[in-house]
Amino acid sequence: MPFIYIVPIELEDHSFLETLEVLISDIFHMRTKRGEFKVNLQEVFDARRSQYNSSLVLQQLIANPPRDAEKILGVLDVDLFIPILTFVFGEAQLGGTGAVVSMQRLHNRFYGMAEDRELTARRLLKEAVHELGHTFGLIHCSQPGCVMNSSTYAENIDQKSSGFCPLCQKGIKKEEPPRAAHRLFTFPWWNKKD
């Protein structure tokens, strides 16, 4: 039976993950499993930006997926970027296996405000569902309340729900079992390695 793996990556506080696993399972109607995968964050740190390259985190995360992994969600607490953006809350393979989400900018303390654990948990759920939605083939949605609506700021995350609009719900594509063995990666640099 395939699972959605939830993978903490050098995450100090794991207390958010138990609830996240339950809610992810409810939303995607799939079983979840906690996993420990080898990801070396030092290799993906960009000293000029003082941030971590999320694409390179993804590459390591899905390098050796377990046979029962339908999807893999890495959760970490460092600031992520892709070269064309100042930062990202997360990144995912469109229609692929892997996704990552960072809690760094989901905490109120990042913005100099009093910490609100409940708010952080809600933001983490929304961003985790959003990134996993991409792995199920969904692109950004223009519906304001849909979880697939893109978020540039934490306030954008707060304004949307953790659920899919009817159109996105209908668009979730699950892989057929035989195809699950083939791990496709959509980044050009990944294909060059093979």
pLDDT for position 175: 53
pLDDT value, residue 186: 41
Beta-sheet pairing, 3-9 with 69-76: parallel
* Angle between helix 117-135 and helix 17-28 axes, rounded to 10 deg: 40
pLDDT (tens place) for every residue of the chain, 194 residues total: 799 999 999 998 999 999 999 999 999 999 999 999 999 999 999 999 999 999 999 999 999 999 999 999 999 999 999 999 999 999 999 999 999 999 999 999 999 999 999 999 999 999 999 999 999 999 999 999 999 999 999 999 999 999 999 999 999 876 544 333 333 334 443 344 43
Integer Cα distance of 122 and 154 in angstroms:
11
Global pTM? Answer: 0.88
28 burial via Cβ count (<10 Å: 0-12, 13-18, 19+): buried
From 43, 131, 155, 176, the catalytic residue: 131
* CA atoms within a 13 Å half-sphere pointing along the CA-CB vector of 148: 23
Phi and psi for 36 in degrees, rounded to 5? -120, 105
**Catalytic annotation present for 131:** yes
What's the full length of the chain, in residues?
A: 194
How confident is the model at residue 194, as a pLDDT? 37
Query: What pLDDT is recorded for position 174?
Result: 65
- Is the Cβ–Cβ distance between 44 and 183 less than 8 Å? no
Pick from 94, 21, 10, 1: nearest CA to 44:
10
